[in-house]
Amino acid sequence: MKLYYMPGACSLVIHIALREAGVTPQLVKLNPETGDTDDGGNIKTVNAKGYVPVLVDEDGEKHTEVVAISLMLADKFGESKLLPADPKQRRRAIEWLAFISTEIHKLFGPFFMPDATDADRKAALVKIEKRFEYADEHLDGKNGFLFNEEFTVADIYLFVTLFWTTPAQISLEKWPNLGAFLGRVMQRPSVIEAIKAEGLT
């Protein structure tokens, strides 16, 4: 499988999920300033929306959007348990994917946009803190992940947003459960491999 990515961007969710499923993807790096990819192409030729992730499967079909690709991989690699097997828990995991996508992921935009103002970042941080408080409370008393011992793609997505707190200069001190969760996920072989492959260490 071929994954178009930017180091440390939301495409890292798909990268880690693939490695959890035992797949080492062919990586194609995007230059966000030009739209060029390091295979000599341009992102617009594979995704008219102009951004990553884009996953090209064995049949040449192109898949976009973190949540959609996550669900596809969970179905394709069922033995990897990227989503819980129990239907109720599966729905809850999809709920978490949607929450992280719409209520956490997008709020980080101002921290990585050069034209964002301090006021933009402060407003985003107020909302991020509320979302982190909710996630921290959910993890209270858990020594594992969002669904206890089951590590799902929802955990991967939450991890990636927490991974962004370092470059965004957001301290996790107020949310000890999130900090502990981040540390646990950082130890997983799939995460170590993906971060190394993207040159993030």
Q: What is the pLDDT of residues 128-185, one digit of tens each?
A: 999 999 999 999 988 799 998 899 999 999 999 999 999 999 999 999 999 999 999 9
Domains and CATH numbers, the chain: 2-79+190-197 (3.40.30.10), 83-188 (1.20.1050.10)
Q: Which residues contact 59 (CB under 8 A, 6 or more apart)?
A: none
| Vertex 86: Cα angle to 82 and 92 (nearest 5) | 70
Grade residue 24 by pLDDT with cuts at 50, 70 and 90.
very high
pLDDT at 197: 98
Q: 110 φ, ψ to 5°? A: -60, -25
**Closest Cα partner for 62 from 41, 85, 31, 34?**
41
**pLDDT per residue over 35-91, tens digit each?**
999 999 999 999 999 999 999 999 999 999 999 999 999 999 999 999 999 999 999
Higher pLDDT: 141 or 192? It is 192
Q: What is the mean pLDDT of residues 87-108?
A: 97
Run of H or E residues at 5: strand 2-5
Kind and range of the H or E run holding 137: helix 118-139
Q: Which own/partner pairs from 172-176 qualify as long-range (CB within 8 Å, at least 24 positions apart)?
A: 172/132, 174/129, 174/132, 175/132, 175/133, 175/135, 175/136, 176/136
DSSP state of 25: P
Structure tokens at 180: 């502990």
Check whether the bond before 53 is cis (ω within 30° of 0): yes
